[in-house]
Structure 1
Amino acid sequence: MLDVLVVDDDFMVARAHERVVEQVAGYRVVGVAHTGAEALAAIAALCPRLVLLDIYLPDMTGLDVIRHARSRGNDLDFIVLSAAREAETISAALQGGIASYLLKPFKVEELLSRLTVYSERRRLLGRPGDLSQSDLDLALGTSGTLSAPPALPKGLSKETSLLVARSLSDSAPDVAASECAEALGLSRVVARKYLEHFVLTGQATVTLRYGQTGRPQRRYASRPI
C-alpha cells in the first residue's frame, strides 16, 4: 500500500482529496494536515510515501514544507495540488523534486490519473532488471512508442493517455476497452474514449470480433510507427 498524507488548509477540500485517494486501489490516506507545521509533524510521525500538498498554507508555503522535509532526509514524494500558477513557484516546486503539479480547480479524473501514473512509476522503478525506453518514457512522463499528440481533445489527459497507450502497446495481439479498463483501474467508457482517439489519429487500428450472441466486440491494436 502507498501511504498518503493530504495537506490543505481548507477542510472541505482536504476531505475531497481524501475521498479521491480512497477510490484508487493500492493507496490509503494515513493522515490529513491543514498547516505546514502539522504537515511536517505528520511526515515525521507517519512516514507517508506520498504527500498531496497545497502551496498556500496559513503558516508557511508548501515549498517550505518540501524544503524542510528534504533537509530532514524524509524519503517521500510530493504531488502539488494548488491554485498557485506563478512560474517561479512552479519552477521552485519542480526543483524540489515533486512528482507532479496539478492546478486547481481540476476534475476528479485528473487527480485519479496522476495517482495512477505515480503508482505505475513506482512499480516500474521498484522492479529488478533493466528498463526499456517505453518504461522510462512512462516513468518520466514523456511520450513512448505510442504517444499522445500535444493537444488532446477536451476531457482527455496526457497522463491517462500515456497509460492507455502503454497498455495498448503491451497487449498482444489486441485488447478490448473492458480489458484495458480493468488493467488500469479505469471505467470502460473512459478507456474506450482514449482507444477511439488513438484510432482516429491513426495510432491504433480496430477490428470487430463476432461472438455467438450480442454485439461484436471492438478489439484495438497499436499501429507500429
Structure 2
Amino acid sequence: MIRVLIVEDDPMVASINKRYVESIEGFSVVGIAANGEEALKLIKNKDIDLIILDIYMPRIDGISFLKKIRQNNITTDVILVTAAKETDSFDQSMALGAVDYLVKPFEYERFKKALENYKKRHKILSGKDVVRQEDIDKITWADSSEKEKSTPKGLHIKTLNRVRDYMCKRSGVLVSADEISKALSITKVTVRRYLEYLASIGEIEIEVEYGAVGRPTNMYRFIK
C-alpha cells in the first residue's frame, strides 16, 4: 500500500483529494495537513511514500516546504498541486524532485493518471538496490504497447468526468440517476448511460431498491 500525505489549506479540497486518492487501488491517505508546518511534523512521525502538495498555503508555502525537506535529506516523492501557471514554480518544483505537477482545476482522470504513473514508478523502484536501464526506460518513456482506454462512442469525456466527480464526492452513498440529473442539469436518460458505463468498468456499483409500489429503482454507489 502506498502511503499518502495530503497538504492542502482548503478543507473541502483536501477532503475531495482524499476521496480521489482512496478511490484508486493501492493508495491510502495516512494524514492531512493544512499547511507546511503541520506537514513537517507529520512527515517526521509517519512513514510516507508520496506527498500531494499544494503550493499556495499560509506559514510555509509548498515550494519552501519542498526545499526544507530536501535540505533535511527527506526524499519522499511529491506531486505538486497549484492554481498558478507560472513557469518559475514549475521549474523550481521539477528541480526539487517533484514527480508530477497538477494545475487546478484538474479533472479526476488527470489526477488518477498521475497516481497510476506513480504507482508504476513505485513498483519498479521499491526495494531495489540496483536500477537497470530497462527499469529507468519504463519510468521515463511512454510504453507504446500500453494504450489508453478510449471513451465509448456516444460518451463525452467532460460529461463522463462530471458524473464521475459527482459520484466520487458522495463515495459510499447510494444516489439515484434522478438526483444526479437534477444536480448536474443533465437528462436522466443521459445520466443512466454514463452510470452504466462506470459500472461496466468497475468504478461504481448498482443496487436495486424496491419500493412499496411502482417499479424498482436502480441506486448507484461509487466504489473506493
The normalised TM-score by structure 1 is 0.62
In structure 1, give the amino acid aligned to 2:142: S
In structure 1, give the amino acid aligned to 2:64: D
Instruction: Provide the residue aligned with 1:143 in structure 2.
Output: 142
- Cα 1:188–1:117 change in 2 (3 A) is farther
- Cα 1:127–1:37 change in 2 (3 A) is closer
* Greater relative CO, 1 or 2 (CA 8 Å, sep 6+): 2
1:132, distance to aligned residue in structure 2 (A): 6.2
Instruction: Provide the residue aligned with 1:71 in structure 2.
Output: 71
Q: How does 1:177-196 map to 2 (within 5 A)?
A: none
- Asked if 1:98 is matched to 2:101, the reply is no
Give structure 1 stretches of 5+ with no counterpart.
157-185, 191-225
Moved >6 Å (runs of 4+):
none
In structure 2, give the amino acid aligned to 1:15: S
In structure 1, give the amino acid aligned to 2:118: Y
Instruction: Provide the residue aligned with 2:15 in structure 1.
Output: 15
Residues in 1 aligned to 2:44 and 2:79: alpha-carbon distance in whole angstroms: 18
Give structure 2 stretches of 5+ with no counterpart.
159-197, 203-224
Residues in 2 aligned to 1:24 and 1:47: alpha-carbon distance in whole angstroms: 20
In structure 1, give the amino acid aligned to 2:87: A
Instruction: Provide the residue aligned with 1:126 in structure 2.
Output: 126
Indicate if the aligned counterparts of 2:83 and 2:103 stay in contact, CA closer than 8 A. Answer: yes
The normalised TM-score by structure 2 is 0.62
Indicate if the aligned counterparts of 2:125 and 2:131 stay in contact, CA closer than 8 A. Answer: no
1:70, distance to aligned residue in structure 2 (A): 1.2
Residues in 1 aligned to 2:47 and 2:16: alpha-carbon distance in whole angstroms: 22
1:45, distance to aligned residue in structure 2 (A): 1.3
Instruction: Provide the residue aligned with 2:113 in structure 1.
Output: 113
RMSD between aligned alpha carbons? 2.9
Q: How does 1:18-97 map to 2 (within 5 A)?
A: 18-97=18-97
Per-residue CA deviation, residues 10-63 of structure 1 (Å, 9 max, x unaligned), is 000000000011111111111000111011111111131100000000112201
1:147, distance to aligned residue in structure 2 (A): 7.7
In structure 2, give the amino acid aligned to 1:61: D
Residues in 1 aligned to 2:138 and 2:110: alpha-carbon distance in whole angstroms: 17
Q: Secondary structure at the match of 1:31?
A: strand
Matched pairs, number: 157
Q: Secondary structure at the match of 2:89?
A: helix
- Cα 1:3–1:130 change in 2 (3 A) is closer
Residues in 2 aligned to 1:49 and 1:187: alpha-carbon distance in whole angstroms: 31
- Cα 1:88–1:72 change in 2 (3 A) is same
Residues in 2 aligned to 1:112 and 1:144: alpha-carbon distance in whole angstroms: 18
Q: Secondary structure at the match of 2:105?
A: coil
Per-residue CA deviation, residues 174-218 of structure 1 (Å, 9 max, x unaligned), is xxxxxxxxxxxx98669xxxxxxxxxxxxxxxxxxxxxxxxxxxx
